[in-house]
Structure 1
Amino acid sequence: MLKKISTQQVQLGMFLQSMEGSWLSHPFWKTKFVIQDQADLTALLKSGVPAVWIDVSRGADLVADELAAPTLPMGLPAVPTLAQASQPIEAVVAYRSVKPPRVSFGAEMEQATQVMNRSRQQVTALFAEARMGKAIDTDQCLPLVEDIANSIARNPSALISLARLKTKDDYTYMHSVAVCALMVSLARQLGLDDEQAREAGLAGMLHDVGKMAMPLDILNKAGALTDAEFTVIRSHPVRGYQLLKDSGGVPASALDVCLHHHEKMDGTGYPEKLKGEQISLLARMGSVCDVYDAITSTRPYKSAWDPAGSIQRMAQWTGQFDPAVFKAFVICVGIYPVGSLVKLESGRLAVVVDMNPQHLAAPVVRVFYSTRSKLPISVQTLDLSGPAAGDRIVGRESPQDWGFTHLDEIWRRA
């Protein structure tokens, strides 16, 4: 199990997994070793490295009194008590983050955009190494998962919506980032703690790594797959599981989600046709998040479905998802997710630009078109949950039916 701790808490006998901060400040030419020499410990303490990751399954852990009331410099969050650390789902990142205050969609867009740009670079490089047969290094994923989790805490809609805007060329890579974000948000909605939410996020980021073992001509095929090609694609959970297991150091939860995210509650999924409670909570979560991002994204063989229509269709797929998990997921993304085209009682059309967690049927929208005049109107932002809005949603609309191709430009405006 991995833990992030302050550098000042490091002790002899701990297994150093990785170090945070600029690599120029790192005092060692290697990581992933047990700190046994006092000189190495002194060098680390004087290095200026703010925090490190230790693997307590391979070395010493913090003692009980330090777990109960640690002193962390530089504003780093405290690790949990022993009772908090012994949750049903084994925590990968065993520390509790200070939750950032929730901000508006517009206020989070700039930071979310930066996180997405870093994610694209890092995940593309990570998966490229996997395609070449190299081991997956989860150390590269942990800081990225933390950045994603912090953005989700500030405003989940911003990053989740941006992650949906992937091209068919970078779908495989950015799909993993999107599922990571969705898993973090869903975990929090289900009441899992911050450590478990990050564990879910890591599992989401690694869930489709088996796609890197698929032939590119099949993975990027624009048309329908033949039965033989589909059989090859269906092998990606097993191939991914084997790749992660061979890499070593990958949490059991990530292995499980990688192997079982295509299982269905009625037992008709693959690869093992697990049914109901045979499927772990994280794998059930992974199934919902994986499908939602897949159908709302443009892929080589299909155009994206609109977000609200996707939620509606998923609700009709009896037997595929855990009902309780799916209900929690809808609360996460909203009945009308960001980017949805809706019709208001006034006859105006609007695109959803933020959700109201306490009023899912009354999100923040941006009005831009009149169905009565059949003409664009001055863009206006309305919070439908407020008494001054004077309007309400009467239904969702299909952007294709109206010929709208610019909705993303409207909701992305700060």
Structure 2
Amino acid sequence: MLKRIPVTELLQGMFIHELCGSWMEHPFWKTRFLLNSGKDLQRILDSGIREVWIDTGRGLDLPSGKTLEQDQDETEAVLLAAAPTPEAAPPAGKRALEEEIQRAAKLCDSSKAAVMAMFGDARMGRAVEVDQVGELVDEISASILRQPSALISLARLKHADEYTYMHSVAVCALMIALARELKLAEEQVREAGMAGLLHDIGKMRLPPEVLNKPGKLSDSEFATVRAHPEAGARILQDSQQVGSLVLDVCLHHHEKVDGSGYPHRLEGEQISLLARMGAVCDVYDAITSDRPYKAGWEPAESIRKMAGWKGHFDERVFQAFVRTVGIYPTGSLVRLQSGRLGVVLEQHEHSLLTPMVKVFFSAKSKQPIPQEVIDLSKLAGRERIIGRESAAEWGFRNLDELWTGLPGR
């Protein structure tokens, strides 16, 4: 049986089934192993992980802890609490996804080139050109206004070797969309976008062999990477061209509301709103992106996992983020009540549970079926999503082509 327990209750002899947090936050190659050394126990306690799943059938048990069923009920309640209100609906006239995809794909390519050049300047000790940053943020902001799902979802499909640059583009787009969902003034929306684009610039001060390592980091390398927020803040401070809000996000996007983050272990309201937003956007893009040593998690599964990480995110900000990307984000593989499998295309304005879905496969017959786009909001009582699925487990290799219409992205 699986149980979720605080790391403070861990004992040697327990079998770790999963560490509850981003796999970017701990130095373990594996997340499933028998805990048989005091050193590994201390590594977990010293990491940003606060809870773990243990498998009581493969190791020691505890009388306390949450069962899988209890955890799923709590997590679903957190997600449903994010249900949008009519006031939170996207502006009228939003473009359809397919109308914006081609334009967003070109913007992804040009944005990557711009960020590579900008980060290259930072690596060489040259000042950040804020005018160029602002122009890029404005282009990304315009795309998000036309259709938020296009650029946000395309930026997630980055190759492992371009992660550092496209991650900055993705977080910029997510920050802009989230800022608008939170009804921030347009000036703050622009600041949020600039903060997203520059939040990881400190990684340019990391040794290339650490930044580009094709495997999991050692403990010492992990500690080196954790210094990037302060390095980035120094770069931006030296440039004297960005505002205090942008600098603050760079410095504090790894803080957590329970005080277990870094570098300053801030908690709750000590963390600025934009930094709390940056924490959510940074983690979501990180865990849904492929890395050389680990495939990214499915977007819908990532949202579900994040909802269960107690003390990690600001509750109001996270609920707004769920309204921004959906419980089942664009590109998610889902199973319908009818037994059909489909990929999510677009979110419904007023319901997180009834997105547009392109069905293409029968889970019952295990055969492809004619592709069809269905609007679940018009099929209430007849069809609904009953679960998240893994494209890797089904062996689907062209899932992204189904919703982007772009080959081999």
Pairwise TM-score range, normalised by the shorter structure: 0.7 to 0.9
Partner of 2:29: none
Shift of 1:219: 1.1
The answer to whether the Cα contact below 8 Å between 1:176 and 1:208 also exists between their aligned partners in 2 is: yes
The answer to whether the Cα contact below 8 Å between 1:306 and 1:340 also exists between their aligned partners in 2 is: yes
Partner of 2:138: 146
Shift of 1:100: 8.8
Q: For 1:156 and 1:390, how far apart are their aligned partners in 2?
A: 29
Pairing 1:112–2:95 present: no
The answer to whether the Cα contact below 8 Å between 1:265 and 1:319 also exists between their aligned partners in 2 is: yes
The answer to whether the Cα contact below 8 Å between 1:186 and 1:329 also exists between their aligned partners in 2 is: yes
Pairing 1:285–2:285 present: no
Shift of 1:359: 1.6
Partner of 2:328: 336
Q: Which moved more, 1:337-346 or 1:191-200?
A: 191-200
Structure ID, larger Rg: 1
Alignment of 1:11-30 (within 5 A): none
Partner of 1:128: 120
Shift of 1:318: 0.4
Matched position secondary structure for 1:250: coil
How many pairs align?
316
Shift of 1:301: 2.4
The answer to whether the Cα contact below 8 Å between 1:266 and 1:275 also exists between their aligned partners in 2 is: yes
Alignment of 1:3-402 (within 5 A): 101-387=93-379, 390-402=382-394
Q: For 2:105 and 2:336, how far apart are their aligned partners in 1?
A: 30
Partner of 1:80: none
Letter in 1 for 2:397: T
Q: For 1:233 and 1:170, how far apart are their aligned partners in 2?
A: 17
Q: What is the TM-score when the length of structure 1 is the normalising length?
A: 0.74
Letter in 1 for 2:97: F
Higher relative contact order (CA 8 A, sep 6+): 2
Letter in 1 for 2:108: M
Cα deviation, 1:96-126, whole Å, max 9, x if unaligned, reads xxx8931111111122122212201111111
Cα deviation, 1:147-170, whole Å, max 9, x if unaligned, reads 111111111100100100101111
Cα deviation, 1:242-266, whole Å, max 9, x if unaligned, reads 0011011111111000000000111
Shift of 1:302: 1.3
Q: Which moved more, 1:336-345 or 1:99-108?
A: 99-108
Q: For 2:164 and 2:172, how far apart are their aligned partners in 1?
A: 13
Q: What is the TM-score when the length of structure 2 is the normalising length?
A: 0.75
* Contiguous gaps of at least 5 residues in structure 2: 1-90
The answer to whether the Cα contact below 8 Å between 1:383 and 1:389 also exists between their aligned partners in 2 is: no
Q: For 2:370 and 2:334, how far apart are their aligned partners in 1?
A: 17
Q: Which moved more, 1:127-136 or 1:237-246?
A: 127-136
Q: For 1:120 and 1:389, how far apart are their aligned partners in 2?
A: 44
The answer to whether the Cα contact below 8 Å between 1:331 and 1:357 also exists between their aligned partners in 2 is: no
Percent identity over the alignment? 57
The answer to whether the Cα contact below 8 Å between 1:339 and 1:411 also exists between their aligned partners in 2 is: yes
Letter in 2 for 1:324: R
Partner of 1:409: 401
